[in-house]
Structure 1
Amino acid sequence: MSTPPLRLFFALACPPELARTITAWRDSLYLDGRPVAAGNLHLTLAFLGSQPRGRIDELKALAASLQAPAFNLPLESLHRWRNGLLYLAPSQTPAALLTLTQQLRTDLLNTGFNLESRPFHPHLTLARHCPLFTVDANPSFDWPVSEFALFASENTARGTHYRLLERWQLLPSGGAIVSPRNSSTSLQRP
């Protein structure tokens, strides 16, 4: 009997304090839609989809070999896609985020993983199924990004649950790579 595959993705998990600040700001706008819980806020770097469990160690080794610098991610634009997804984004994507994403995607493709072909559009989802809105909002959040992580998306009776498999520190300015840290932290979508 084989074990079922996992739905995997690499992402930046929003730090808890910043996530609470962002969701409090979002809630103050009194928007319709299904809000994303503070503990579920993340920015996807690469979505891998369904993958055999046997490839997890390969993904962890690939991520551990990345050498990308830490950076600051300003979130100062509020947008909504036609499908009703409300999100925050930087007005200009930091070069370090593009470098991290490109290195990760290149290594994944070179190792035989299939990735979505659409261009990378960094965003932090705030709500789903949000109708058109006319909100005069001026978000201004600074996210100090110092690590990235590999998550498994799991369906449960209580909704989708994002389980952190492992995370890796980004290079401090002029520093060396810090070893990976395991954690039982998870993100859960309501």
Structure 2
Amino acid sequence: MSESTLRLFFALPCPPEQATAICRWRDEQALQGRPVPPQNLHLTLAFLGVQPADCLDGLQRLAADLDCPAFELTLDRLITLGKGFICLQPSAPPPALDYLAAALRAQLAALGLVLDSRPFLPHLTLTRHGHERVHGHSPAFGWTVDRFVLFVSETTAQGARYRELGSWPLRASGTTAAAVPD
């Protein structure tokens, strides 16, 4: 990847206090695989992949135009996805989460960005490259989601580092907008 391109994704950042609790629980479970550092815990809304750096202004305008209510997110299921990604997932995704992901993907498609065609599957990755398949309940980890973020993934000697390039608030509950679920 050159300096003129960036590896980008929109996501919900995990608050530091929840990230600490999640990692403490994960480490007690002795899950296989390479643990995701607490500061990298997030729930991806839309993975953009490698994009030209000059697309940032358009992405930031797009994000600023989205209108979605804040919501409560509870991660309470332990699952394995793909080839060894051990994750937490909501057993009952809030409608506002699905709405935010769909609205974001629709706006990105309108900009001409081709995204992964797989359906949105909300999850927070705990470890990568696990060899066992796990499924079941976990303690409920939750927070009020009041913003979403555009991240850039940077490769460092210590591994991937996710850095915020922009953050946008979600609408406080009690305020309304047409055709947006509360």
Please, what TM-score do these two structures have when normalized by structure 1? 0.87
Q: Give the match for residue 167 of structure 1.
A: 167
Map residues 175-190 of structure 1 onto 2, 5 A cutoff.
175=175
Map residues 129-168 of structure 1 onto 2, 5 A cutoff.
129-132=129-132, 138-168=138-168
Q: Give the match for residue 124 of structure 1.
A: 124
Q: Which runs of 5+ in 1 are unaligned?
A: 178-190
- Alignment partner of 1:27 is 2:4: no
Matched length: 176
Asked if the contact 1:9–1:46 (Cα under 8 Å) also holds between the matched residues in 2, the reply is yes
Q: Deviations over 1:100-124 (max 9, x none)?
A: 0011000110111111111110000
State the Cα distance separating 1:156 from its structure 2 match. 2.0
| Distance in 2 separating the partners of 1:137 and 1:103 | 29
Please, what TM-score do these two structures have when normalized by structure 2? 0.90
| Distance in 1 separating the partners of 2:118 and 2:101 | 13
| Distance in 1 separating the partners of 2:136 and 2:163 | 35
Asked if the contact 1:75–1:143 (Cα under 8 Å) also holds between the matched residues in 2, the reply is no
Asked if the contact 1:151–1:166 (Cα under 8 Å) also holds between the matched residues in 2, the reply is yes
State the Cα distance separating 1:132 from its structure 2 match. 1.4
Q: CA RMSD in A?
A: 1.9
Q: Give the match for residue 40 of structure 1.
A: 40
Asked if the contact 2:87–2:127 (Cα under 8 Å) also holds between the matched residues in 1, the reply is yes
State the Cα distance separating 1:176 from its structure 2 match. 7.8
Asked if the contact 2:11–2:46 (Cα under 8 Å) also holds between the matched residues in 1, the reply is yes
Identify, as 1 or 2, the structure richer in strand.
Answer: 2
Q: Match of 1:115, as an amino acid?
A: L
Q: Deviations over 1:127-171 (max 9, x none)?
A: 011121568753211221110000111112222121110101100
Q: Match of 1:34, as an amino acid?
A: R
